[in-house]
């Protein structure tokens, strides 16, 4: 008999549970936290549903809705043209599909973020991880776990803001530059509302993850959940943004394939 194909083996492993599908996506509703900018700037829309019909005189046998949402609401994908440094690069509809399925490295800073919500990942943290687990995956994702998904049930604890602005963990400016310009990954994934730390408005440059990643033709994934279910290495991320023509990003369903023994 011929050897089973790679795809047949994958399907078999999915059915048997040898490969688990982990949902990394936050539920999308009117209570999903959204980024808040200073009032002088434009604001992203909260997710809204507008019912068209629900088994009634507007449509007796079907239920459906229109919806309104910002591109960067909920779990979402940042395309290069989202930031001025990438304004001449790809929109979200032009991201090569082979980049939407990629291996992942998961770096866990839950303890550090619990002690200090303004914790910043430095290059040395990443290199220490590499010394233990091997190099970051070429063409893969760097996923930063901080435990912040536990706060995603409501706007206030998720943004964690006071009179000085939000306090959420992220990357230092130098680490953001290194990930964008020197590391082999295609993008950064986080559990917070955006790829940058809460205090990144005061960094040099401001919002360095956005500035460096987008300018380097790389991507962002934000408001991820369930990173605790992923191993440090070996998982594969499937990111599914809507291909919005000229769009700067999109809400996305993000899954991870994890091999279980």
Q: How far apart are CA 77 and CA 141, in angstroms?
A: 12
Q: How far apart are CA 179 and CA 138, in angstroms?
A: 12
Q: How far apart are CA 228 and CA 136, in angstroms?
A: 18
Q: H or E stretch including 115?
A: helix 110-115
Q: SS3 for 137?
A: coil
Q: How far apart are CA 187 and CA 209, in angstroms?
A: 10
Q: SS3 for 53?
A: strand
Q: H or E stretch including 62?
A: strand 59-68
Nearest partner of 126 among 165, 172, 60, 94, judged by Cα:
172
CB 137 within 8 A of CB 103: yes
Candidate list 72, 76, 82, 210, residue with the active-site label: 82
Active site residue 82: yes
β-partners of residue 21 are 257
Q: How far apart are CA 160 and CA 168, in angstroms?
A: 7
CB 211 within 8 A of CB 85: yes
Catalytic (active-site) positions:
82
């Amino acid at each position: 008999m011929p050897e089973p194909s790679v795809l047949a083996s994958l399907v078999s492993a999915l059915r048997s549970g040898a490969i688990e599908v982990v949902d990394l996506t936050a539920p999308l509703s009117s209570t999903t936290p959204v980024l808040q900018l200073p009032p002088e700037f434009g604001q992203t829309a909260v997710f809204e549903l507008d019912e068209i019909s629900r088994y009634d005189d507007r449509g007796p046998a079907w239920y459906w809705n229109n919806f309104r949402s910002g591109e960067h609401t909920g779990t979402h994908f940042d395309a290069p043209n989202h930031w001025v440094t990438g304004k001449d690069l790809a929109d979200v509809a032009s991201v090569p599909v082979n980049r939407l399925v990629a291996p992942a490295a998961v770096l866990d800073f839950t303890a550090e973020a619990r002690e200090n919500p303004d914790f910043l990942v430095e290059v040395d943290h990443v290199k220490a991880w590499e010394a233990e687990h091997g190099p970051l995956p070429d063409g893969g994702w760097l996923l930063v776990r901080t435990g912040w998904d536990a706060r995603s049930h409501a706007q206030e604890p998720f943004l964690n803001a006071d009179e000085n602005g939000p306090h959420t963990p992220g990357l230092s400016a130098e680490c953001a530059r290194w990930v964008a310009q020197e590391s082999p990954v295609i993008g950064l994934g986080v559990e917070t509302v955006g790829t940058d730390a809460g205090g990144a408005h005061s960094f040099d440059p401001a919002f360095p993850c956005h500035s460096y990643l987008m300018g380097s033709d790389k991507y962002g994934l934000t408001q991820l959940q369930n990173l605790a279910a992923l191993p440090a290495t070996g998982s594969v991320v499937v990111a599914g943004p809507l291909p919005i023509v000229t769009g700067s990003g999109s809400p996305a369903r993000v899954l991870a394939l994890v091999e279980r023994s």
